[in-house]
Structure 1
Amino acid sequence: MTLEVQREGEHSFVGRNERGAQVRLGRTGAEGAFSPAELLQIAVAGCSAVTAEELITRRVGADSEFRVAVSADRREGASELDAVHVAFDLDVSGLEPGQREALAGAVDRAIERLCTVSRTVKKGIPVTEEFPTT
């Protein structure tokens, strides 16, 4: 799969995949764009949502809606995140307390086992860059 980021103007970039999807990137605070750190957080939350969807819809209802909020801890002036926090927001009022706990545990286990983004962030991996020298 080919992914790319192309510069479109000063501090303005577009990320694309082969399927035609696009996302605007820019510096923190850029209008209409995600910063790279925001995209990392969105990727963690999105992976959690996609991983948990079947478990949630099977137990809460096929038409259930849910939201996954994400935030990060970052020291002032630091060029790295210290932690990412994911919070599911869904109506579980139709479940008994034991069923709620079972669902939360199943979602946690699924994310721990299957969520590529969270697993990769927790593991930490090398990132390499290539730059033309001629």
Structure 2
Amino acid sequence: MSDESNLRSIHLSRTAQGRYRIENVRGGVLEIGHGEDADFTPVELLLAAIAGCTAIDVDFLTTKKSQPSRFDVSASGIKVSDADGNRLEDIAVGFDVTFPDDEAGRQMAERLPTAVERSHDRLCTVSRTVELGTPVVTGLSA
């Protein structure tokens, strides 16, 4: 069941060969490229989306009583090209989170593994979409 409140969208415009400007409906702007400069590539954005989505989940689930002293997340994958086409395999997301060594910090640190699991198994829209293999329809706009 969907309605307008569930719709998520972006608009991409070409700015030069291999360079693009992406805008969201809230006015956010992001420049991307094909990997010849410092701009993120689409594959890097996919990894960033997976890491960012799960980081947001884990952040909200673990910081109710204590703020982390470190909250770093990494994401990686191996790009392969074979008979099935180009894709990433072995996508991995790693959390490096520490909380203060006090009662509240220890409680939040104990919540961390469950929060990571909940994000992966249920909450993170991006990784759930990738893992479930949601079809992508591509075509010309009318």
Which residues of 2 match residues 15-34 of structure 1 at below 5 A?
15-27=22-34, 29-34=35-40
Equivalents in 1 of 2:76, 2:68: separation in Å?
26
Deviates further, 33-42 or 64-73: 64-73
* Two-structure CA RMSD over aligned residues (Å): 2.5
Residue 131 of structure 1 aligns to a residue whose secondary structure is: coil
1:42-79 CA deviation, whole Å, 9 max, x = no partner?
000000111111222135x2364411111112236762
Unaligned runs of 5+ in 2: 1-7
Q: What is the aligned counterpart of 2:92 among 85, 91, 97? A: 85
Match of 1:74 in 2: 79
Unaligned runs of 5+ in 1: none
Alpha carbons 1:52, 1:111 under 8 Å: kept: no
Equivalents in 2 of 1:62, 1:100: separation in Å?
10
Q: TM-score, normalized by length of structure 1? A: 0.81
Residues 1:6 and 1:101: Cα distance change in structure 2 (over 3 Å): same
Equivalents in 2 of 1:106, 1:132: separation in Å?
40
Residues 1:103 and 1:80: Cα distance change in structure 2 (over 3 Å): same
Q: What is the aligned counterpart of 2:58 among 25, 42, 52? A: 52
The runs of at least 4 consecutive aligned structure 1 residues that moved more than 6 Å come to none
Residue 23 of structure 2 aligns to a residue whose secondary structure is: strand
Equivalents in 2 of 1:63, 1:99: separation in Å?
9
Q: CA deviation at 1:102?
A: 4.3
Q: What fraction of aligned residue pairs are identical, expressed as a percent?
A: 33
Residues 1:10 and 1:105: Cα distance change in structure 2 (over 3 Å): same
Instruction: From the two aligned structures, give the one with the greater strand fraction.
Output: 2
